[in-house]
Structure 1
Amino acid sequence: MSEDSRPMSILSETDCWKLLEGTALGRLVTSVDGHPAIFPVNFAVQRRTVLFRTAEGTKLVSTAINNNVLFEADGHGTAEGWSVIVKGVARALRDDDDIADAQRAQLLPWPATDKPHFVRIRPLSVTGRRFLFGPEPDPAPSKDFTGARADAH
């Protein structure tokens, strides 16, 4: 079976970044009060980092306390889908130069709310998979307790 026809294939890091650059909604996975938490965020890719904006609150506090995060984005069409996971370190931007750099990404909040804080995720690893959709394969013939194929009787 060729790599292009396998139901699941591993994406290169370059392909992962290309897919991330082409989408705008992902999920931040962090820890809040010792429990896993997941937050949808719109984001931008800037020089192989993930950038999002947030207001005061749980996302900002959790990235300050537990800066080791996961970020996941995915997409799909009618015949295939993909998923990319960025494991990294999140840091709220405080320096004026860093904030000015982040503003060049032209990342606007989706809801009509003030989200003055930029958070950048610097990756430690980036992994991804592509999935080809199709029918479920036929199940293997079952065997009876003697080891003989059940459909051979």
Structure 2
Amino acid sequence: MHGEGMPRDGADDSPSQRDSVATRAALRRRQLGLSQEELAQRAGMSVAYLRQLEGLREDFDPAALMRIAAALGMPYEELLRGRDDAPPGGGPAATHPVLMRLSEAECWERLGTHGIGRVALSADAGPVLFPVNFLVDARTVVYRTDPEGAAAATAGERVAFETDHLDEQLSTGWSVLVTGAAEHVTDPEAVRALAARPGAEPWAGGVRTLWVRVVPGQVSGRVIRTRG
């Protein structure tokens, strides 16, 4: 899935850097005996987008690259920049970020009660991603949109929702991915209760009368923690 408008990582974006990221990803994938299709499935993305990320041919979504690193069983920074050798003379090891899985409970803790995320829907050309402000309601994700708008998932449609927080200065962050089916919230009492909650007002404005609930089939997350 492509995160539109996501900033580039602070790493050098020269052709050699792009090539080295692609080389490290491809080499590790071959070491694990994985095809691109198998790696894409592990990382929760399409094969076409995996190929785009491996080549870093345009602005990339750091959260998606985090999922690739996790699927390859390697630290995010190692995938992005390569391994750092230990300092000479047996000095103390440098502090470095490590990519770790989040439990489902930890994922919901990071989702909180409301915030901003991205919902991914299927289109003829492939997955498309839309920014939405969301609410968490009884272990489901709910967002409000225009009934005729592009983000108006149909009832029963398979959808994905992703949100993250990244700090490039500290090389830390997390990403949570929710995949499941869309439902339309039509009960008037439920709609009133959702509309009264903080964060329910759509940031984009306009006619946003359709409430879409993402009922999770799977919840997964990754976090970058700093270790010595």
Q: TM-score range by the shorter chain?
A: 0.7 to 0.9
Kindly provide the amino acid, as one letter, of the partner of residue 87 in structure 1: T
State how 1:21-100 maps to structure 2 within 5 Å. Answer: 21=112, 24-33=115-124, 35-55=126-146, 56-60=148-152, 63-64=153-154, 67-77=157-167, 78-79=169-170, 80-100=172-192
- Structure 2 residues not aligned, in runs of 5+: 1-95
CA distance in 2, matches of 1:65, 1:94: 11
Using the TM superposition, give the Cα deviation of residue 88 of structure 1 relative to its aligned residue in structure 2, in angstroms.
Answer: 1.1
Identity rate of aligned residues, in percent?
Answer: 34
TM-score, structure 1 length as denominator?
A: 0.73
CA distance in 2, matches of 1:85, 1:127: 5
> Is contact 1:9–1:131 with CA below 8 Å preserved after alignment?
yes
More helix by share: 2
Q: 1:65 to 1:96 in 2, by over 3 A?
A: closer
More strand by share: 1
DSSP-derived class of the 1:109 partner: coil
| Cα RMSD (Å) | 2.3
Alignment partner, residue 128 of structure 1? 221
Using the TM superposition, give the Cα deviation of residue 59 of structure 1 relative to its aligned residue in structure 2, in angstroms.
Answer: 1.6
> Is contact 1:30–1:66 with CA below 8 Å preserved after alignment?
no
CA distance in 2, matches of 1:52, 1:122: 12
Structure 2 residue 101 is matched with structure 1 residue 101? no
> Is contact 1:81–1:133 with CA below 8 Å preserved after alignment?
no
Which structure has more relative contact order (CA 8 Å, sep 6+)? It is 1
Displaced runs of 4 or more, over 3 A? none
- Structure 1 residues not aligned, in runs of 5+: 135-153
Q: 1:104 to 1:115 in 2, by over 3 A?
A: same
TM-score, structure 2 length as denominator?
A: 0.51
